Structures are given as structure tokens and as C-alpha cells.
Amino acid sequence: MNNRDFHALTHLVIDSQIKPPLSLFAKGFDDWHVRARLAHFLIMPQFNKKQESIELFRSVVEAEVNPNSSEDIEEKIYALQHLSLILRDDKLLDDALHYINLSIELVEEYDFLYKYILRGEIWADRWNILIRQHKTDLAVDEVEDKITAYSHLPIKNISYLYYGYRFLAQLAAANFHTADAIEMMKKALSYMAVPEQNKKALEKAMSATHDNASWILQEIDKATPLPASIKWDI
């Protein structure tokens, strides 16, 4: 992609009904942050520029981050994560795994408590790719490693364990083990500070007596607060 193509795509987004702030793109093509931000927009259905988005995301892979800026690091992590998800949905699983691994390496290299990125969610993306690669045992082993490492810490809100147990719940549901799926979700939610207004709906979802495990997990997810709204310790 050259500067001219980039300029045209930028105006496609700027002139759309979304109307993002011009400041997002002020530094132009040479700034990797701008390329990543444009890529996030281009993948949206209304633009349908998947290949251009992938190209822009790939251009960010070798970008240097400011080690003293959690926002800078987080922006690159998010770009790598988004690229991985696009490739996963395209069934390019080896590439998807490569980029989520890069995202994990970056998220674990620094001790920041990020504003939007959740460490557990990034790992869950890896586990879900491994499942699609028929490497379920490896994914489960990694979840068990996280449980061993973090379950005895004197803190409550641990994203590793919420997403780890949620992953085990989904695995149990896929194997029609409804009771196990519900128990795993109870464990997952024990590592999240669930607001009072969510508890009644969660109890109702988890008290279902039928065996449609996938439906039950969907109802639990609907009743669960957005993970991004929770103040996580890890």
C-alpha cells in the first residue's frame, strides 16, 4: 500500500457516517498508530476492506512501542489481537496463532494493568485457536497451568481465571456435559466482582434444569457484566 492508497482509504472512513475524529489520522501513513486505527475501521462491514485492513495490520507487526507508555503498548496488542481474529475467521489458523502469540508476548512483557486489554482474554483467543487446530489437550494444559499459578493469590478479580474457567465451561458444553459447564461458569464468575444488579439474572440462568448447555452458557453471558466494565487485578 502506498501513501496515495492510504489517503484514499482514510477519506473513505472520514467521510462516512461514522465520522471519526480527524485527530486519529493526523500523523498520516508513516505513523503505525494511524495505520492500525485505519485498519480497525476498514474491517467494519460498511467498508468491507478486509484485505486492506490485513495489510495495514501486518505493517504494524515490527513497529517499536514506547516501553514507558501503557497506551502505546496496548494499541499494538489490540492491533495484533484483531489481526489474529480476522485470520482465525478466515480459517488461516497457523497465521492466526502466530499473531496472537505475538500479542501474548507483548502483553506479558510489561507489568501494566491495561485500560482495555485483558490478559485472560488474549490467552482465551489462543486457546480457541488451538481448539480449531485439534490441540485441545494443549489448551486445557495451559488453562490448568494458569489455575495452578493464580488461584491461590489473595486477590479476587483475575482475568486469567475468569477466561480460563469460561473456556473449560465452553469445552464441557461442546461435549454435552451441562452440569460441568455450569460448575465451570460458577468458578469463572468467582474471579469477577459481579455487580449486585447482575446476580439475580445469573442465578436464574445457572439454575436451568434442561440439558441445552450452549443455550445456558449464552444466557449466563447475557447476564454477565461486560468484562471491560470490571476493575481487574490481573
How many other C-beta atoms can be found within 10 angstroms of the C-beta atom of residue 221?
Answer: 11
Residue 2 pLDDT > 90: no
Whether residue 107 is contained in a domain is answered as: no
Listed residue (196, 201, 165, 195) closest to 183, CA to CA: 165
- The full DSSP string for 167-194 is HHHHHHHHTT-HHHHHHHHHHHHTTS--
CA pair distance 59, 205, nearest whole angstrom: 44
- What is the extent of the structural domain holding 191? 135-234
pLDDT digits (tens, 9 = 90+) for 28-53: 999 999 999 999 999 999 998 999 99
Question: Residue 131 and residue 97: Cα distance in Å, rounded?
Answer: 11
Residue 5 lies in a domain: no
- What is the domain count for the chain? 1
| Residue 48 belongs to some domain of the structure | no
Residue 162 counted as domain residue: yes
Q: What is residue 36's predicted lDDT score, i.e. its pLDDT?
A: 96
**Has residue 23 been placed in a domain?**
no
Residue 9, CA distances (Å) to 2, 19, 63, 169, 225 in order: 11, 13, 21, 41, 35
Nearest-angstrom CA–CA distance, 221 and 198: 11
Digit-coded pLDDT (tens) for 52-83: 999 999 999 999 999 999 999 999 999 999 99
- Collect all residues with Cβ–Cβ distance below 8 Å to 42 and sequence separation of at least 6: 9, 12, 13, 49, 50, 52, 53, 56
pLDDT of residue 196: 92
Cβ(192)–Cβ(164) below 8 Å? no
pLDDT tens for residues 131-168?
999 999 999 999 999 999 999 999 989 999 999 999 99
Q: How far is CA 46 from the centre of its chain?
A: 22
Give the confidence band of 24 by pLDDT, cuts at 50, 70, 90: very high
Residues 210-225: pLDDT tens digits? 889 999 999 999 999 9
What 3 state SS string does 202-234 have? HHHHHCCCCCCHHHHHHHHHHHCCCHHHCCCCC
pLDDT of residue 142: 98
pTM above 0.85, yes or no: yes
pLDDT at 79: 97
Q: At what angle do helices 136-150 and 159-174 cross, to 10 degrees?
A: 140
Amino acid, res. 137: D
Report residue 111's pLDDT band, with 50, 70 and 90 as the boundaries.
confident
Which segments of the chain are extended strands (E)? none
User: Does residue 43 sit within a domain?
Assistant: no
Coil, helix or strand at residue 68: coil
Residue 174 maps to a domain: yes
Query: From the CB of residue 90, how many other CB atoms can be counted at a distance below 10 Å?
Result: 12
Average model confidence (pLDDT) for the chain?
A: 94
Give the tens place of pLDDT for each residue, 171-189: 999 999 999 999 999 999 9
Tell whether 122 is covered by a domain.
no
